[in-house]
Amino acid sequence: MYALYTAPRTRGTRVVWVLEELGVDYELRIHAPRDNEIKALNPLRKLPVLVDGDLVLTESAAICTFLADRHRDSASLSPPCPSIERARFDAWNYYVLTDLETPVWTFTKNAVVYPEKIRVAEILPACKKEFQRSINALAHKLGENDYLLGSEFSVSDILCGHTLAWARSLEFDIGPDNVGAYADRVLARPALSRARARERDAAQAPAEADDAT
Ligand SMILES: N[C@@H](CCC(=O)N[C@@H](CS)C(=O)NCC(=O)O)C(=O)O
């Protein structure tokens, strides 16, 4: 069974969402980022981390893609490799992790995460501007499609939908109507509701979960 080291309302939600879409068994191990067990698994001391036997895998997008590729018989969340569709899938994932997520993460760090004395308030408007530029490109490329790859829902939508929800929670303008409708469509997936419920349940019983392992 997969063990996912994570915390609710982090990038770990992306992975729990994928696990729920796939319907595979997994166990959540709730930890604060930076604690000693996380440090032993990931020198960056960041979540999420997936453990499966000898495999210790970091980076939310790599974990989501690995799981989707491995369980393609359960649900089709990633195009086969090599293919034109796979190239488009990779391009969307890299776009989300760089152009879309970076301004949101830089904003978050400088608004709430960093100790106050090292926050740079002047950078916040630039983050919103960069995000807007990325959203405009998303609106243009998405067009009237239901999902980033067209009619097929995939891991790209999970990464993008999660990032749009994060941006909305910070009151970023996610812009044109087609992007708002896309975000609503993706974030209404029952697997995301189940993922959030699993995270909540696991977070309420971290001690018991640790004792059992
Ligand atoms: N690129 C990594 C980023 C991981 C990351 O920054 N995780 C946050 C939680 S969402 C964390 O553990 N932060 C702790 C820290 O920055 O020290 C991924 O996508 O998995």
Q: Both 147 and 62 in a single domain?
A: no
What percent of the chain has pLDDT above 90? 94
**Element containing residue 16 per DSSP (H, E):** helix 12-22
**How many other C-beta atoms can be found within 10 angstroms of the C-beta atom of residue 141?**
13
Q: Both 72 and 14 in a single domain?
A: yes
Q: Both 63 and 135 in a single domain?
A: no
Q: Both 90 and 173 in a single domain?
A: yes
Q: Both 139 and 183 in a single domain?
A: yes
Q: Both 132 and 161 in a single domain?
A: yes
Is the CA virtual torsion 59, 62, 65, 71 positive or negative? negative
CB of residue 29 inside a 6 A radius of ligand 1: no
pLDDT score recorded for residue 207: 43
Q: Both 59 and 133 in a single domain?
A: no
Q: Both 122 and 179 in a single domain?
A: yes
Q: 11-30: per-residue pLDDT in tens? A: 999 999 999 999 999 999 99
CB of residue 45 inside a 6 A radius of ligand 1: yes
Q: What's the average model confidence in pLDDT over 112-121?
A: 98
Domain harbouring 164, CATH code:
1.20.1050.10
CA-nearest residue, atom 15 of ligand 1: 46
Q: Both 160 and 109 in a single domain?
A: yes
Any residues with CB less than 8 A from the CB of 15 and at least 6 apart, and which?
4, 6, 48, 50, 60, 63, 64, 67
Tell which atom from ligand 1 comes closest to the C-alpha of 47: 12
Domain harbouring 205, CATH code:
3.40.30.10
Q: 134-182: per-residue pLDDT in tens? A: 999 999 999 999 999 999 999 999 999 999 999 999 999 998 899 999 9
Burial of 63 (0-12, 13-18, 19+ CB in 10 A): buried
The number of distinct structural domains making up the chain is 2
Q: What's the average model confidence in pLDDT over 100-109?
A: 98
What is the residue range of 36's domain?
A: 2-76+191-211
CB of residue 14 inside a 6 A radius of ligand 1: no
Q: Both 118 and 183 in a single domain?
A: yes
Q: Both 207 and 185 in a single domain?
A: no
Tell which atom from ligand 1 comes closest to the C-alpha of 7: 9
pLDDT score recorded for residue 140: 97
pTM assigned to the model: 0.95
User: What is the distance in A from the centroid of ligand 1 to the CA of 212?
Assistant: 26
User: What is the distance in A from the centroid of ligand 1 to the CA of 47?
Assistant: 5
Q: Both 154 and 202 in a single domain?
A: no
CB of residue 71 inside a 6 A radius of ligand 1: no
Q: What is the mean pLDDT of the chain?
A: 95
Phi-psi region of 9 (alpha: psi -120 to 50; beta: other; left: phi over 0): left
| Paired residues of 3 in beta bridges | 27, 51
